[in-house]
Amino acid sequence: MTLQILFLLAGFVILIKGADWLVSGASSLARKYGIPDLVIGLTIVAFGTSAPELVVSVFAAVQNHQDIVFANVIGSNFFNLFAILGIAGLITPLAVQSSTVWKEIPFSLLALIVIFLLGNEFLAGGFKLISRVDALILLLFFCLFLLYIYRQMKADVSDAVVPDRHLSGTKIGLFIILGLGGLILGGRIVVNNAIELADAFGVSEKIIGLTIVAAGTSLPELATSVVAAYRKNNDIAVGNIIGSNIFNIFLILGVSALIRPIKYNISFNTDICLVAAGTIFLFMAMFLGGKRKLDRWEAGLLLIAYIAYTVFLINREI
C-alpha cells in the first residue's frame, strides 16, 4: 500500500511537470512562428492547466474505469470551488470583476446543469449514459466558452501575455517531447495506482477519484490561486477556478465520452448538486457585505464544507 501511495505521488509530480514542460515548449514554438500571445494564452496555456485532469480522465475512459472519469472531474470542481477558493479567500478577501459575477459564474452553473441533464437522460430518455452525441454537445458548449474567452482576452490583450523563455529549437523540441511523455506516463501511473489503492483500502473508485485523484490533479490550480491571492491578483485567483471548472465539464468530459461513452452513476447527482450549491453560494457572496467580493468568513465556510463532506465520504465507505 505504501508503494502505491509513493507511485501515486510520483505520478502527480510527473503529470504536473509534464504539463509545465509542454506549455513552455509549445508557447516558445508558437512565438517562433509569430503566433500572437492572445492565441497562445487561449489555447496552449489554457490547455496546460487542465492537462492533468484531461489525461487522467482519458486514461480512465480508455481503461473503462468510468467512475474515475466522473469522480476526477466532479471532485476537481468540488476541490477547486470549496478548498482552493476557501484557502485563497482566507489569505485575502477576493474582489472580482463584474464579468466574472454576471457571466463566468453563471456559465459554470450552466455546465453543471447540462451534465446533470445529460447524465440522467432527462433530455433523451433511456440508459443513464454520456453518449458520443452528448460528448459533442459538451464540446459545442466548450467552443462557445472559448469564443467568450477570446472576446474577453481581445478586450484586454495585456492579460493574454505569456512569459517567453527564449528557448532554442533543440530545447523547444525537448520540452514538447518530455512534456507529452510526462503527461502520458504520469496519467497512466495515477490511474493504475488509484485503482490499486481503492482495492487496498476496500473503497470504491468513486471515493478515490473524488478525493485523492481530484485533489492531486488540481494542484496547478491550487498553486496558481494561492500565489495570486498572496499577490492580491484577485481576478486570477477566482477566474482560474471558475474557468477550470468550466473546462473540466465541457472539455474533459466531452473528450472522454467521445473516446468511449460513459455510464453515469446516479450517486454523482449528490456531488453535482453540492458543487452547484457552492457555485450559487459564491454568486450570492458577491452581493453580501462588500460588493463583488468573497470575504474571509465566506471563504472559511467553503473550506469547512469541503472538509466536512470529505470526512462524510470517507466515513460512509468505512
Range of lowest pLDDT (16-25, 206-215, 274-283): 16-25
Q: Is 60 exceeded by the pLDDT of residue 290?
A: no
Task: Say how far apart CA 131 and CA 127 lie, in whole Å.
Answer: 10
pTM of the model: 0.83
Predicted confidence band at 160 (pLDDT cuts at 50, 70, 90)? very low
Q: Is 80 exceeded by the pLDDT of residue 166?
A: no
Q: Regarding the domain delimited by 2-317, which CATH topology (the fold level of the hierarchy) does it fall under?
A: A middle domain of Talin 1 (1.20.1420)
Average pLDDT of span 64-80: 91
Q: Is 90 exceeded by the pLDDT of residue 257?
A: yes
So where are the chain's domains?
Answer: 2-317
> 137-144: which pairs have CB atoms within 8 A and are 24 or more residues apart?
138/114, 138/249, 138/250, 138/251, 138/253, 138/254, 138/257, 139/250, 139/251, 139/254, 139/255, 139/258, 141/110, 141/111, 141/114, 141/250, 142/246, 142/247, 142/250, 142/251, 142/254
The 3-state DSSP class for residue 293 equals strand
Predicted confidence band at 161 (pLDDT cuts at 50, 70, 90)? very low
Q: In the prediction, which pLDDT does 217 show?
A: 84
Phi, psi of 127 (to 5 degrees): -65, 150
Could you tell me which residue, 129 or 301, shows the higher pLDDT? Answer: 301
Phi, psi of 294 (to 5 degrees): -95, 105
